[in-house]
Amino acid sequence: MKPPRVLEAAWTWIDGSFQTGVQIEIDEAGRISRCGELGIDTNRSLADRALLPGFVNAHSHAFQRGLRGEGERFPGATGSFWSWREAMYSLVERLDRESLYRLSRRAFDEMRAAGITAVGEFHYLHHHRVRELDFAFDDVVLTAARDSGLRTVLLEAYYRRGGVGRELTGAQRRFATPDPGGFWRQIDELTATLDDPRLSLGVVAHSIRAADPGEVAELHAEARGRGLVFHMHVEEQEREIIDCREAYGRGPLALMTERLAPGPEFTAIHCTHSTSEDVGRFAAGGGGICLCPLTEANLADGIPEFRQLGESDVGLSLGTDSNARISMLEEMRWLEYGQRLASGHRGVIVDSEGACASRLLDCATAGGAAALGLDAGRIAPGCWADFALIDLDHPSLGGWRPETLLDSLVFGGGDGAIAGSYVGGVSE
Ligand SMILES: [Zn+2]
């Protein structure tokens, strides 16, 4: 039997601070078996590096990487989420298996380079041949994820309607799931193909626009019974709240909280226009919220006004969503900066000691891992050996001290400060 591998960086983020002299033993399966001062001679294998838990990207639509650089000109009129959505639908009409693979691979490779070691791929683009509902695009994304070596939770999306009370039209028909029974058959077929410990599945109701409350409740109950995480776009746009109130008498978040009793398995994506009261009730049951600050800025969604999130226990995670930019460092800093700009206060998203960067890192690591149901996001025995490597000589970190290293990285670190990543103990 091969001896276990041991890594030792100059500094390792463990239990909320950078520590030196930490050795990490990795077992054959790619999990951390032991870490700490193990008394093993490693020659300090990573002498000019710091080691962080790998970033967990809790919300991505990889194919939207194909829109980068598109739709940023606005002759004659300003754009909106809804005009962007038309551009996205036009991309959807053009994709086939090869181009979807290329775009997904590009997005996933870029994530690895950005220190992201796990992704929740919120996947609703299912079909090549619309009439046959062939689900020909699902395995393409899994193949791209496997080839990029990225730990991936394929969050398979249920998408039945084209808006509250409306039929699917045009490009939306590529997203169609026939009914809950047909949806679960596809989940079972995908599950049978999974042959890599880095790949797993979760369940999505795309949004209250795409599934009615009874369907969402049924999907959620089945997902919970199967031990699968459940994600849903919630209240990114005011129009969705208005339509939902008209149809069902409540906004989506209040409606879900009342009807589903969501727990930690439920992650609401965005909550941009959610009220503090609705967020409080949802979070009290254990539900988590995933924010995507760069996409929410790019799409002019708005800034959520829930200052108490920084002070409460609500589980926050981060996602690169539309992949207009793939940088967890920027997602972290803009999560806080958005709140500063909106509130006029500094230090909104902070931990129990008032530290901003460590709370933001927690959102980008342990928070994401919780949202995806992964043993990841921490450097601790039993967790996957998924790490982001930091180049301590990078000019953007110049002048760092052990006490300020994380703050320097989160608020000032350039992309080049990420020197690589490990997934399951394997470096890229
Ligand atoms: Zn999304």
Q: Give the β-pairing of 23-26 and 17-19.
A: unpaired
**Does pTM surpass 0.85?**
yes
The answer to whether 293 touches 319, Cβ cutoff 8 Å, is: no
Rounded CA-CA distance 376/338 in Å is 27
The answer to whether 303 touches 296, Cβ cutoff 8 Å, is: yes
> DSSP H helical segments within 170-212, as ranges?
180-193
Which amino acid is residue 111, in one-letter code?
M
State in Å: Cα 4 to ligand 1 middle: 39
State in Å: Cα 408 to ligand 1 middle: 29
Question: How much is the pLDDT for 264?
Answer: 96
Other C-beta atoms lying within 10 Å of the C-beta of residue 73? 6
| Burial of 173 from C-beta contacts in 10 A (0-12 / 13-18 / 19+) | middle
**321 flagged as catalytic:** yes
State in Å: Cα 269 to ligand 1 middle: 7
State in Å: Cα 50 to ligand 1 middle: 32
Instruction: Provide DSSP, 149-181.
Output: T-EEEEEEEE---SBTTB---GGGGGG----HH
What CA–CA distances, in Å, run from 178 to 231, 311, 339, 359, 415?
19, 42, 40, 41, 42
In this predicted model, what pLDDT tens digit does every residue of 195-233 receive, in sequence order? 999 999 999 999 999 999 999 999 999 999 999 999 999
pLDDT-above-90 percentage for the chain: 84
Which of 138, 321, 362, 386 is catalytic? The answer is: 321
How far is Cα of residue 162 from the mean position of the Cα atoms in its chain? 24
Which of 59, 126, 270, 273 is catalytic? The answer is: 270
For each of the domains in the chain, give its residue range(s) and CATH number, in order of start. Answer: 5-53+380-427 (2.30.40.10), 55-372 (3.20.20.140)
**270 flagged as catalytic:** yes
State in Å: Cα 59 to ligand 1 middle: 6
Q: Which stretches of the chain score pLDDT less than 70?
A: 1-4, 43-44, 307-313
State in Å: Cα 60 to ligand 1 middle: 6
Report the residue count for the chain: 428
Rounded CA-CA distance 287/280 in Å is 10
3-state secondary structure of 83: helix
Q: 58, 75, 81, 5: which is closest to 297 by C-alpha?
A: 81
Question: How much is the pLDDT for 129?
Answer: 85
State in Å: Cα 124 to ligand 1 middle: 10
The answer to whether 371 touches 317, Cβ cutoff 8 Å, is: yes
State in Å: Cα 207 to ligand 1 middle: 10
In this predicted model, what pLDDT tens digit does every residue of 36-92 receive, in sequence order? 999 988 766 799 999 999 999 999 999 999 999 888 888 878 888 888 888 899 999
